[in-house]
Amino acid sequence: MKWSLGTVFIVIMLLVIVFTGFAQENVTITVQDYFDPAKSMGKFIQERIVEFENNHPNVKINHTFIPFNQLLPTILQQSITKTVPEIIMVNNPNVSQLIKGGVLKDLTDKVKEWGWENWEDFIKGYRDNGSYDGKIYAFQITGNNLALFYRESLLNKAGIANPPETWQELKEQCKKIKELLDISPFAYDAEASDEGSFQFYPFLWSNGGSLLELDQPEAIEALQFLTDMFKEGYIPRDVLNITSQGDLTPWFINGDVAFMINGCWEFGWHLTEDVMQQLGDVKVTSIPVQEKGIRPIVAFGGECYGISSNIDPAKYDAAWEFLEILLSSDINLKINIDSASLPTRVSATEKILTEVPILEPFLEQSKYALPMALMGGMENYGEISSILWVAIQKAFTGVATPEEVFKEAAQTIKGIFSPEDYEMYKQVARELLQEASKK
Amino acid sequence: MKAFSYKIYFFLIPVLVYQLIFGIYPLIYNLILSFKEVTLITYLGGGISQWIGLSNYLQILKDPVFQKAIFNTLIFTGLSLSFQFIIGFWLALLFNHTFPLKGLFQSLIMIPWVLPIMVSGSFFRWFFNDQGMANNFLLSWGFINKPIPWITSKIFPILSITAANIWLGIPFTFILLYTGLRAIPLELFESAEIDGANWWQKILYITVPLLKPVIITILTLGTILTVKAFDLIWIMTKGGPGDVSHLFTTLSYSLAFNKFHFGKASSLLVIMVLLVVGLTFLFNSTKVEEESSIE
Amino acid sequence: MNKKQRKEWKWKWTLIALIPTIIIILPLYFIAIGGFQSAAEIFHRPPYWFPPHPSMEFYNHAWVTLFPYLKNSLIVALGNLALTLTVALPAAFVLAKFRLKLGKLTFLILLFTQILPAIAVIIPLFLIFNNFGMINNYFSVILGIAVFTIPFATVILRAYIKGIPTSLIEAAFIDGADLFRIFRSIIMPLLSPAIATAGTLTFIMAWGDFIFSLSFLKDQTMQTMSIGIYRFVGQYGIEWNNLMAGSMIFAIIPIIVALLAGKAIVAGLTAGAFK
């Protein structure tokens, strides 16, 4: 009796062991980003996850939300404690830092398998940002940039027929509007964060200036122009303390400003169809430049996806498969339509213009848009950006003149690099700028 | 009382051990970090941080922003504590009577501590905007004819932030003083009245002495909480415009997460800890601490 | 004075207390009505004192978004409260009434370990907790927050215990009571106002904790409301109306706690020590 029970028990154990040995290993992958699960981006990713899980029954994907302003600190924490999730989303200015810090995995081999033409279909600026030393680390799937929004009716009231194309025209139009309507008409974000720097780049780069050479006249002129605008009262003083560029739009909607420098995402956010209809006079044009004929050169924003360098090798293939889906041209188009962002693949870009025609100035600018990090010393970009925004604020509040603050800033920036590195990054920035400005 | 001695330690050990492990270790961690040159790359493990001794400290001490930060921290802390205390004390005296709706009002006074600081901080930023409520009032009542740059100038920002922080800290001083006040037996006040004391004398000779432990605690904890304050300043000005309104905490954060100078950020925190340690020693060395203890 | 006159007399205090109360909660008013407006309306100049086209849409959205987090916040905050008071009360008693060398040292450690901001503490703590496999559960968050709430509550309770006449305790010694008995029968009953006070402040701190919950909880279903609120702070900016509506919802529980604690403070004191 006892013996038979024992045999039965052993047999059952053996069967269990055999079956679990043959059973598919369940792979769990985590995708981490800052997309609110209740909004279009978050929902979109979630739908892709469900689709993928259905097609791959042994893979489970968790979708983790981290608040936007905590994403980089969280990734840093995770990196130190070796708990970086398999697939992570990174805001594009931080990609260089994470590449250099060894947080992102080299995906070049997978890209070769996938098909090099897919990689080349991504717009050049995004490719430059996501790769280093010939290796590919991250893909940008959403894009955006800045343009000049204006309220046509307010311009007409002041007798202005066409939006400004040059700095001088902008200044004169602001003067007229201020005299007539007693408002500070030009909303420009000068906050103490990377968004403040982001707003400065169109003025800096269109004028031929460089982040790494702020003591040159091109850079100083750009700052001088904006500082004068601020001092004359054409820019509302409160721009120094807003939380983000999005805070400019309520002023714009209320008619408290006539112009704003803002991004295409606003059409997916404050400037909904209802609001556009209600206002009836919201127009967009490219950012004014120093002289007629110069091409406006802006920075691009947007989100990138990559794979953790510490990923468990058993999970790598599944993670890449999921990532591949997010990178396809159709997805590229769809994911950007809802949030009024710009697709990052050329093939998708061509299609979006018919769906969302108001994006035209943004799409045009995106062809020549430059990656901030590469223009600003790669992994040192964060520090350089912070030096820039402090300088801008100092000039605006009159602590020192634009020339003084930029000369000081340029000194500090130079000191961050070794002399060879400085020359190298300076050259990289110059070349990128030259290429973008070529007609 | 020898019979008690070992049992007393049972009461004390859990807290001591807990804080030693989870409280002291982070202090040591930051201390070690402060002696190294930590860049983003080395922080992430892509290299070894170099040991550079006191170099971070020397660099910080020479930085003009650091000097601003000391000045700002002292003003911020001094003014905040003073006004929070006075207002909290006045409110505690006021609420020491029974009246209808008192419970409701009392819990409403806790609001500044309860609201997420993201929101209340943003409110104050909006309030102090050049085109915000404060200026609206002053302009429409004719006190000024141009908006005052409460948070967009070189000198006002730290004062505006301090005003917001005073609001923020009132629940803390209020509730502590209130509970302490209510524990004072009414008979003491009544007999003082019979002796002819007026309200001022009652406060000075009865209330304050009996509240000494609570008052010192408020000053000590209040100092710690105030010097530690980060979110409010960050939300209102991020230490700006320029770098005029940096305190130790915001400067440290900025060094760590904007410039990725983690070593320097830690050294600044160590300096801050030493400063607060010094201040708390000051508050807690008074003779009052010695009374009524058991050997 | 007859009863009616006494009642009127008391309403005078209500009116006087109304003034500072209104001033203090004025920001709350604007935040509350902000939840009924669009972003453009919130930032209208001059600011609206009444929403021009009030809409329940944002409060609804905020409620739907935040409600799932309610349970987690309660678990963390109440768990932390229980742990904190359990550990802090005995320690506060000893620190207040006994002169021990270890006591002095402990007190100093309690102060020093509160000074560092949470963000400086999170990585070393994460390393410790991760080593013991304790990440990703409520307990780790409770313990993390306790690093700050335990010393905080201990120092506060100590101050109130100092106010209890030592003669009471010494009398009990002479009567032959042991330490636990003294603690339970003499100290605790007198402390309900102090416990209510320390408890309220502790609860509010734990309820508002953000960084420990964010760093120690990987599972989305376990995150607390303080993180939920940050869903309204996105990459394109802040959804002010949702955030303001959400803050009001966030504030409900702590305010209820403060209300209950207020009653406890009054009730406990009428019991009195001097009977």
Strand A138-140 with A303-307, pairing: antiparallel
The pLDDT of residue A14: 62
Q: What's A345's DSSP letter?
A: B
C216 is a domain residue: yes
The pLDDT of residue A21: 43
Cβ–Cβ of B44/A386 closer than 8 Å? no
User: Is any Cβ of chain A less than 8 angstroms from the Cβ of B121?
Assistant: no
How far is CA B237 from its chain centroid?
A: 18
Chain A residues with CB under 8 Å of B240 CB are 191-192, 240-241, 390, 393
A218/A268 same-domain check: yes
Q: Which of B183, B220, B227 sits opposite C163 (nearest CB)?
A: B183
Chain A residues with CB under 8 Å of C230 CB are 67-68, 70
Angle between the N-to-C axes of helices B156-182 and B64-94, in degrees from 0 to 180, rounded to the nearest 10? 40
Strand A27-33 with A87-91, pairing: parallel
Give how far C65 is from chain A: nearest CA, Å. Answer: 8
The residue extents of the domains of chain B are 63-246
C56 is a domain residue: no
- Euclidean distance between CA atoms C47 and B140, whole angstroms: 13
The pLDDT of residue A23: 46
How far is CA A162 from its chain centroid?
A: 30
Strand A27-33 with A59-65, pairing: parallel
Cβ–Cβ of A101/B149 closer than 8 Å? no
User: Is any Cβ of chain A less than 8 angstroms from the Cβ of B257?
Assistant: yes
The residue of chain B with its CA nearest to that of C91 is B12
Cβ–Cβ of C238/A68 closer than 8 Å? no
User: Is any Cβ of chain C less than 8 angstroms from the Cβ of A262?
Assistant: no
Q: What percent of chain B has pLDDT over 90?
A: 67
Domain B63-246 part of CATH 1.10.3720.10: yes
Cβ–Cβ of A396/B241 closer than 8 Å? yes
Cβ–Cβ of C126/A256 closer than 8 Å? no
- Euclidean distance between CA atoms B241 and A400, whole angstroms: 13
A316/A252 same-domain check: no
| Separation of first and last alpha carbons in chain A | 93
C59 is a domain residue: no
Of B285, B278, B212, B276, the residue nearest B249 (C-alpha): B276
pLDDT digits (tens, 9 = 90+) for B241-276: 999 999 999 999 999 999 999 999 999 999 999 999
Give, for all 275 residues of chain C, the pLDDT tens digit.
567 766 677 788 899 999 999 999 999 999 999 999 999 999 998 889 999 999 999 999 999 999 999 999 999 999 999 999 999 999 999 999 888 888 888 999 999 999 999 989 999 999 888 888 878 889 999 999 999 999 999 999 999 998 888 888 888 877 777 778 878 887 778 888 999 999 999 999 999 999 999 999 888 889 999 999 999 998 888 999 999 999 999 999 999 999 998 888 877 655 444 33
Cβ–Cβ of C43/A254 closer than 8 Å? yes
Angle between the N-to-C axes of helices B156-182 and C138-162, in degrees from 0 to 180, rounded to the nearest 10? 60
CA distances from residue B181 to A58, A135, B91, B216 in whole angstroms, order as listed: 65, 69, 11, 14
- ipTM for the predicted complex comes to 0.91
A39/A181 same-domain check: no
C113 is a domain residue: yes
pLDDT at B54 over 80: yes
A317/A218 same-domain check: no
Give how far C78 is from chain B: nearest CA, Å. Answer: 16
Give how far A194 is from chain B: nearest CA, Å. Answer: 9
Residue A138: its H or E element = strand A138-140
pLDDT digits (tens, 9 = 90+) for B126-185: 999 999 999 999 998 989 889 999 999 999 999 999 999 999 999 999 999 999 998 888
Of C118, A219, A400, A246, the residue nearest B243 (C-alpha): A400
A257/A157 same-domain check: yes
Taking a contact as any Cβ pair under 8 Å apart, which residues of chain C between 205 and 244 contact chain B? 207-208, 226, 229-230, 233, 238, 240, 243-244
Helices (H) and strands (E) in chain C, counts: 13, 2
A39 is a domain residue: yes
The pLDDT of residue A10: 63
Higher local confidence (pLDDT), B199 or C1: B199
Residue count (chain B):
295
DSSP string covering A375-397, please? Answer: HTTGGGHHHHHHHHHHHHHHHHT
- Euclidean distance between CA atoms C123 and C146, whole angstroms: 16
C108 is a domain residue: yes
Contact call for residues A143 and A299 (beta carbons, < 8 A): no
Task: For residue C91, give the CATH number of its domain.
Answer: 1.10.3720.10
The pLDDT of residue B5: 67
The pLDDT of residue B157: 96
- Euclidean distance between CA atoms A214 and A95, whole angstroms: 23
Triad C110, C111, C117: Cα angle to 5°: 105
User: Is any Cβ of chain C less than 8 angstroms from the Cβ of B43?
Assistant: no
Interchain CB contacts (distance < 8 Å): B and C: 291
DSSP string covering chain B, please? Answer: -GGGHHHHHHHHHHHHHHHIIIIIHHHHHHHHHHTEE--HHHHTTSSPPEE-TTHHHHHHHH-HHHHHHHHHHHHHHHHHHHHHHHHHHHHHHHTTS--TTHHHHHHHHTHHHHS-HHHHHHHHHHHTSTTSHHHHHHHHTTS-SS---TTTSSSHHHHHHHHHHHHHHHHHHHHHHHHHHHTS-HHHHHHHHHTT--HHHHIIIIIHHHHHHHHHHHHHHHHHHHHT--HHHHHHTTT-STTTT--HHHHHHIIIIIS--HHHHHHHHHHHHHHHHHHHHHHHTSGGGGSS-B-
A69 is a domain residue: yes
A91/A161 same-domain check: no
Chain A residues with CB under 8 Å of B125 CB are 241
pTM of the model: 0.91
Cβ–Cβ of A30/C218 closer than 8 Å? yes
The three-class DSSP label of residue A30 is strand
Provide the domain limits for residue A153.
146-299+377-437
Which residue(s) pair with B166 in the sheet? none
Of C227, C241, C231, the residue nearest A43 (C-alpha): C231
A187/A257 same-domain check: yes
A357 is a domain residue: no
A188/A284 same-domain check: yes
- Give the mean pLDDT of B67-75: 95
pLDDT at B8 over 70: yes
Q: A159: left (phi > 0), else alpha (psi -120 to 50), else beta?
A: left
DSSP string covering A235-291, please? Answer: S-GGGGS-SSGGGHHHHHHTTS-SEEEEEGGGGGTTS-HHHHHHH--EEEEPPPBSS
C6 is a domain residue: no
> Which of the residues in chain A have pLDDT under 70?
1-25, 439
The pLDDT of residue C177: 73
pLDDT at B45 over 80: no
Provide the domain limits for residue C105.
66-271
The residue of chain A with its CA nearest to that of B132 is A238
- Euclidean distance between CA atoms A107 and A320, whole angstroms: 9
Q: What's the structural domain count of chain C?
A: 1
- Give the mean pLDDT of B70-84: 96
**Is residue B193 very low, low, confident or very high in pLDDT (cuts 50, 70, 90)?**
confident
Task: For residue A75, give the CATH number of its domain.
Answer: 3.40.190.10
CA distances from residue C177 to A417, B10, B247, C190 in whole angstroms, order as listed: 72, 17, 52, 17
CA distances from residue A247 to A142, A188, A269, C40, C81 in whole angstroms, order as listed: 21, 10, 11, 9, 38
A110/A192 same-domain check: no
The residue of chain C with its CA nearest to that of A253 is C40
Residue A147: its H or E element = strand A146-151
Which are the contacts of C260, defined by CB distance < 8 A and separation ≥ 6? none
Cβ–Cβ of A103/B44 closer than 8 Å? yes
The pLDDT of residue A12: 63
The phi and psi torsions of A97 (rounded to 5 degrees) equal -60, -40
**Which chains share 3+ C-beta pairs under 8 angstroms with C?**
A, B
Of C39, C62, B264, the residue nearest A254 (C-alpha): C39
The pLDDT of residue A409: 97
- Euclidean distance between CA atoms A218 and A378, whole angstroms: 22
- Euclidean distance between CA atoms C147 and C155, whole angstroms: 13
Measured over the CA atoms of residue B190, residue B196, residue B202 and residue B204, the dihedral's sign is: negative
Cβ–Cβ of B292/C24 closer than 8 Å? no
> Around Cβ A151, how many Cβ atoms within 10 Å?
22
Give how far A161 is from chain C: nearest CA, Å. Answer: 26
Taking a contact as any Cβ pair under 8 Å apart, which residues of chain B between 74 and 103 contact chain C? 87, 91, 94-95, 97-103
Taking a contact as any Cβ pair under 8 Å apart, which residues of chain A between 223 and 242 contact chain C? none
Q: What's the structural domain count of chain A?
A: 2
Task: List, as own/partner pairs, every contact residues A172-178 make where C-beta atoms lie below 8 angstroms and the sequence separation is at least 24, other chains included.
Answer: A173/A259, A174/A229, A174/A232, A174/A234, A174/A258, A174/A259, A175/A232, A175/A234, A177/A258, A178/A233, A178/A234
> Around Cβ A120, how many Cβ atoms within 10 Å?
11
A244/A166 same-domain check: yes
Strand A135-136 with B50-51, pairing: unpaired
> Around Cβ B226, how many Cβ atoms within 10 Å?
23
Q: Which of A79, A193, A237 sits opposite B152 (nearest CB)?
A: A237
Give how far A426 is from chain C: nearest CA, Å. Answer: 30
